[in-house]
């Protein structure tokens, strides 16, 4: 009970409606976790659609595997996992108040994210060349599966596209972290933005961890 009367020393980052920095920190973290819950449900709708159509058309879905480059997808997965590592290091550096390390690791995360997006763009381009973009440029070699494979490729573009949009948003957030760190906003006592952006970045990675096997490895068990 005494806590509210105690005058806590705090920096300018404590907003007027919070009592103490710890309360603000907990609110921010819980807010991000709650937001991630909504994100899970958002992607959950897509995963449900995927599950239902894959159960309905297993062969058509398996037939698309030949157009998915596992090597490229695998490399991209590795890139993303590395970016999670650098992100975690950035968060730790933030907690320790190491400004230069924060900037370094955040930029490294941004670069890895950019590599991922670049590879994704290359893959999209490849799909376009191969006439595998439903609604725009669609021609499927195997006429038996032309219709049903179209659904898979549609889901592929929606799911990876949504993921990519989240990545782009993440890049923007990382950029703002770099700027804030550059302006010496963070201290060892207060690095909440780094942590919540970190949560977001890890979530986006985890989504990809699910997308990769679902989209790239469907037909591989038959090889």
Partner 1 sequence: MSTLVETPRTGAEINYLNADYGWKSWLFTTDHKRIAMLYLISITGFFFVGGFFAFLMRMELLTPRGDLVQADTYNKFFTMHGIMMIFFFLIPSIPATLGNFLVPIMIGARDLAFPKINLLSWYIYITGGLFALGAVVAGGVDTGWTFYTPFSTTYSNTYVMAAALGVFISGFSSILTGLNFVVTIHKMRAPGMTWHRMPLFIWSHYATSIIQILGTPVVAITILLVAAERIFHVGVFDPAVGGDPILFQHLFWFYSHPAVYIMILPGMGVISELVTCFSRKRIFGYTVVAYSSIAIAVIGFLVWGHHMFTTGQSMYAGLVFSALSFLVAVPSAIKVFNWTATMYRGSVSFDAPMLYVFGFIGLFTIGGLTGLFLAASAVDVHLQDTYFVVAHFHYVMVGGMVMAYLGGIHFWWPKMTGRMYPEAWAKFAALVVFVGFNLTFFPQFMAGYLGMPRRYHAYAEEFQVYNVLSSAGASILGAGYLIPMVYLVWSLWFGKRAPANPWGAVGLEWMIPSPPPTLNFDKTPVVTWEAYQYHEPDRPEVEVGR
Partner 2 sequence: MKFQIIPDTASTFAEKVDPLWWFLVILTVVMTGFIAVLVFTFAMKYRRRGPNEKTLYIHGSTKLELFWSITPLIIFLGIFFWNASLYYDYFTPPPDCLDVYITGKQWMWKVQYPEGQREINELHVPVGRPVKLTMASEDVIHSFFVPAFRLKRDVVPGHHNTTWFQATKTGRFHWFCAEYCGTQHSGMIGWVTVMEPTDYENWLAGGGVTGSMASQGEKLFQQLGCSTCHLLDEQGRCPILRHVYSNPVKLDDGRTVTADDGYIRESILNPNAKIVAGFKRDIMPTFQGQVSEEGLMQLLAYIKSLSKGQQPATGNQTIGAQQTGQGTGTARMGGSVPRSATGGPPTGAIPVSERTQNPTERKK
- Name the site residues for partner 2 (rule: CB under 8 A): 56-57, 59-60, 143-144, 147-148
Which partner from the list partner 1, partner 2, none does 59 bind, CB cut-off 5 to 8 Å by kind? partner 2
Q: How many CA atoms lie within 13 A of 173 on its CB side?
A: 20
Which partner from the list partner 2, partner 1, none does 81 bind, CB cut-off 5 to 8 Å by kind? none
Which partner from the list partner 1, partner 2, none does 150 bind, CB cut-off 5 to 8 Å by kind? partner 1
Say if strands 137-138 and 132-133 run parallel, antiparallel, or are unpaired: antiparallel
Q: Which of 63, 64, 86, 150 binds partner 1 (CB under 8 A)?
A: 150
Burial 131-161 (b: 16+ CB within 10 A, else e): ebbbeeeeebeeeebeebbbbbbbbbbebbe
Token digits of residue 64: 């698309």
Among residues 19 and 69, whose Cβ is nearest to partner 1? 19
CA angle, residues 101, 103, 109, in degrees to nearest 5: 100
Cβ 160 to partner 1 shortest distance, Å: 14
Which burial class, exposed, middle or buried, applies to 114 when counting CB atoms under 10 A from its CB (0-12, 13-18, 19+)?
A: middle
List all residues 6 or more positions away from 80 whose beta carbon is below 8 Å from its beta carbon. Answer: 112, 113, 116, 205, 208
Cβ 134 to partner 1 shortest distance, Å: 4
* CA atoms of 30 and 51, how far apart (whole Å): 30
Residues 9-48 interacting with partner 1 (rule: CB under 8 A): 15-19, 23, 26-27, 30-31, 34-35, 37-39, 41-46, 48
Which partner from the list partner 1, partner 2, none does 144 bind, CB cut-off 5 to 8 Å by kind? partner 2
Binding site for partner 1 (CB under 8 A): 1, 3-4, 15-19, 23, 26-27, 30-31, 34-35, 37-39, 41-46, 48-49, 52-53, 56-57, 134-136, 147-148, 150-151, 154-155, 158
């Amino acid at each position: 009970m005494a806590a509210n009367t105690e005058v806590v020393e705090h920096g300018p980052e404590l907003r007027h409606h919070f009592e103490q920095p710890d309360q603000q920190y907990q609110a921010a973290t819980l807010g991000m976790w709650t937001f991630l819950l909504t994100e899970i449900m958002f992607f959950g709708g897509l995963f449900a659609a995927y599950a239902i159509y894959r159960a309905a058309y297993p062969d058509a879905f398996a037939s698309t595997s030949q157009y998915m480059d596992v090597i490229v997808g695998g490399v991209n997965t590795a890139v993303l996992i590395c970016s999670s590592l650098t992100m975690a290091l950035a968060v730790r550096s933030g907690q320790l108040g190491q400004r230069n390390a924060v900037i370094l690791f955040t930029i490294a995360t941004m670069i890895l994210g950019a590599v991922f997006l670049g590879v994704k763009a290359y893959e999209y381009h490849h799909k376009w060349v191969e006439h595998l973009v439903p609604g725009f440029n669609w021609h499927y070699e195997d006429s038996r599966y032309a219709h049903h494979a179209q659904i898979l490729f549609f889901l592929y573009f929606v799911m990876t596209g949504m993921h990519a949009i989240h990545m782009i948003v993440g890049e923007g957030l990382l950029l703002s972290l770099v700027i804030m760190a550059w302006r010496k906003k963070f201290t060892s006592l207060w690095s909440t933005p780094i942590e919540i952006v970190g949560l977001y970045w890890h979530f986006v990675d985890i989504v990809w961890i699910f997308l990769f096997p679902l989209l790239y490895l469907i037909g591989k068990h038959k090889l």
